[in-house]
Amino acid sequence: MHLRRAGAGPWRGSGWLGPPIVDARPGRFTEATVTAVQDDAVVLITGAARRVGARIARELHAAGARIAVHCRQSMDEATALCDALNAVRPDSAAPFRADLLHVDALPDMVARCVDRFGRLDGLVNNASSFFATPVGAIDTAAWDDLIGSNVKAPLFLAQAAAPALADSRGAIVNIVDIHAERPLRGYPVYSIAKAGLYGLTRSLAIELAPHIRVNGVSPGAIVWPEDGQFPPDERDRIVEHSLMKRIGSPEDIAGAVRFLLFDAPYVTGQVLAVDGGRSVHL
């Protein structure tokens, strides 16, 4: 980052005060349009040790960002990913373990990230539980897990990260789901949770403007669950219903996240569907 801050920071107590950050370089964004650029930016990604989260980490790292790789249980994989990223660019990635359902611990994770890297420019709320909850078999444990990982944790993590993100004129990207708007049969609690995250994305865009942009990415079928929740015939039906006649890739999601973090300074409060056109005629 090469931003020059004029005067006091924008976050004070319960309100937003102080002049905006100004980039002194010719041709760069200024005033309220300033956003995190990828040169040395620091991005915290939840659920980043594996699958789509790991691909997002690699994409943003390739763009020049330093990466805080969050995990809950996959510490070995998180460490291996950081080792690979640090081999490309030394001291550019570090793992952070936390249970996102324990929201009281989230400010500490943000503080550790800022202590480690000196700043925070982006937050990607990627971690998510996903499993079926047919009506008649829903219990409070399933509710707490799905709502906690998909709505409660993103809210409280965004709240904890807001002061640091405001200082850097940063951005938040939430990984939503096309089923936030079109519920998936057999998955009512998951669909409710993602609908909540959709609403949270737009609400935070209002609450945190103009200092922090907040957007979302709504994936369609990207990577099939590892526990066989979708049998082959169901997978074929989903692919056939996509206008692109294929599932997406983690790279598709990572590219959208990179765009919203680094290349969309006038975009906030939006949720971008990356689903091969499937949601057009669900």
Torsion of CA 278, 263, 201, 194, to 10 degrees: 30
Residue among 187, 190, 198, 266 flagged as catalytic? 190
CA distance 167 to 261: 16
Q: Which two tokens stand for residue 156?
A: 């409280």
Helical spans, DSSP H, in the chain: 51-62, 75-88, 106-117, 140-147, 153-168, 188-208, 232-241, 250-262
The reported pTM is 0.86
Under the banding of pLDDT at 50, 70 and 90, the label for residue 20 is: very low
Under the banding of pLDDT at 50, 70 and 90, the label for residue 282 is: low
pLDDT tens track for 135-163: 999 999 999 999 999 999 999 999 999 99
Tokens 């070995």: give the residue: 76
Set out the domains of the chain in order of their start, with CATH numbers. 4-281 (3.40.50.720)
- pLDDT at position 230 is 67
**Count of other CB atoms within 10 angstroms of residue 27:** 6
Residue 104 sits at φ, ψ, to 5 deg, of: -65, -20
Residue count of the chain, please give it: 282
pLDDT score of 195 more than 60? yes
Rg (C-alpha) for the chain, rounded Å, is: 19
Q: Is 190 a catalytic residue?
A: yes
Pick from 144, 123, 143: nearest CA to 133 = 143
